[in-house]
Amino acid sequence: METQKRTPWRRWIVLVLMIAGWILAGIFVPVRPEITVAAEKLIEEPLIENFLGQPFYLVNTLPTLALTIVLLVVIAFVANRSLTKSQKTDLVPTGIGNAMEAILEMLYNLTESSAGAKWAKAIFPWFATIMIYVLFANLLKLIPGFESIGVIHHAHGEGHAVQHMGGVDMILPEKGEYILSPFFRGISVDLNFTLTLAVISFVMIQVIGVRAQGLAYFSKFFNTKRMFKVPFFGAMDFLVGLLEVISEFAKILSFTFRLFGNMFAGVVLVAVVASLLGNVSILAAMIMMFELFVGLIQAFVFGMLTMVFMAMATQGHGDEEHAEH
């Protein structure tokens, strides 16, 4: 049988895109963005003069936060309509309803295998919500133009020149007195967001532990049962409990800076590589693929750690565990 020779059309598409990227990068020279740890202000004047003792500004992570919530609500609404329609017809989910059902079923099975059937229903909503939301927030920032369209402000230090083109002001690589504050900035590179998620995760770990073991849950932090019976080992148990307290609060820092550090490093890497390569846009696109991979991994790690710590909190500790057996 004669084999039909396939035309490598995908290679030609990649080549055309590389050439187009080279030409466009020569016309619109990439400008390295302003890299700051804190979110940029969209409006110089505060929205509220005194909010918890500090002025409250409209920063560019707040529109992103609102956008992610609205999009997730829309996706949930569409998925619910799809599942409801399938229940009334042939009971076979299709489209986005099928995709969401498969994802949630996979996450629930993962929770059940780690925490057991008894506590899976209590842990799963927190695990799935945190993981899906962080994943969506990480991937949303990869949309083209997400962090490159915004408001031009006067720079307090080194800035760039501005050119007016077709009713739009564009930042130029030349030195000037202006900087760009994008309308949207990834919320995973805002310490306020990662710290809030870490505190929510920390609090709910304690809540799940108390629900599972009652007040005996706190005995692993303040273990004084053997203090007077066996003074030496009782003192050791008490010191170990204090270390447990430090370890428990260290989870907040670990959750906060793991997600923030990895996502912020990705922003810096993409900005530096894009500014160094100039017209070679295909390599910067490969770095964006790496950023996509990091976003997936970090969302999975954050959610999995929350679920594992919750599952560990439901288990007895020390004497309580042996007493159950």
Give the highest mean pLDDT range of 38-47, 297-306, 308-317: 297-306
Whether the per-residue pLDDT at 324 is higher than 80: the answer is: no
Question: Among residues 42, 54, 291, which one has the least CA distance to residue 180?
Answer: 42
Question: Among residues 290, 285, 299, which one has the least CA distance to residue 265?
Answer: 290
pLDDT in the model for residue 199: 94
pLDDT in the model for residue 306: 92
Task: Encode pLDDT of 228-246 as tens digits.
Answer: 666 666 677 778 778 888 8
Which residue is associated with the tokens 């998925």?
79
Q: What integer is the mean pLDDT of 98-120?
A: 89
- Band of pLDDT at residue 126, cut at 50, 70 and 90: very high
Task: Encode pLDDT of 271-301 as tens digits.
Answer: 777 667 665 556 666 777 788 888 899 999 9
3-state secondary structure 212-242: HHHHHHHHHCCCCCCCCCCHHHHHHHHHHHH
Confidence (pTM) = 0.81
Domain boundaries, the chain: 60-147+186-324
Task: Encode pLDDT of 139-165 as tens digits.
Answer: 888 887 787 788 888 887 778 788 777
pLDDT in the model for residue 231: 66
- Cα 182 from Cα 191, distance rounded (Å): 18
pLDDT in the model for residue 325: 41
- Band of pLDDT at residue 82, cut at 50, 70 and 90: confident
pLDDT in the model for residue 28: 66
pLDDT in the model for residue 320: 47
Distances (CA, A) of 186 to 51, 168, 191, 218, 219: 24, 24, 11, 37, 40
- Band of pLDDT at residue 227, cut at 50, 70 and 90: low
Burial-class residue 126 by CB neighbours within 10 Å (0-12, 13-18, 19+): buried
Greater confidence (107 vs 32) lies with 107
pLDDT in the model for residue 316: 64
Whether the per-residue pLDDT at 213 is higher than 80: the answer is: yes
Q: What integer is the mean pLDDT of 169-174?
A: 77
Task: Encode pLDDT of 242-258 as tens digits.
Answer: 888 888 899 999 999 98
Q: Pseudo-torsion of CA 137, 138, 140, 143, nearest 10°?
A: 160
Which tokens in the block code for residue 177? 């007195």
- DSSP summary character for residue 183: S
pLDDT in the model for residue 322: 43
- Band of pLDDT at residue 1, cut at 50, 70 and 90: very low
pLDDT in the model for residue 46: 83
Q: What integer is the mean pLDDT of 18-41?
A: 74
The mean pLDDT of the chain is: 81
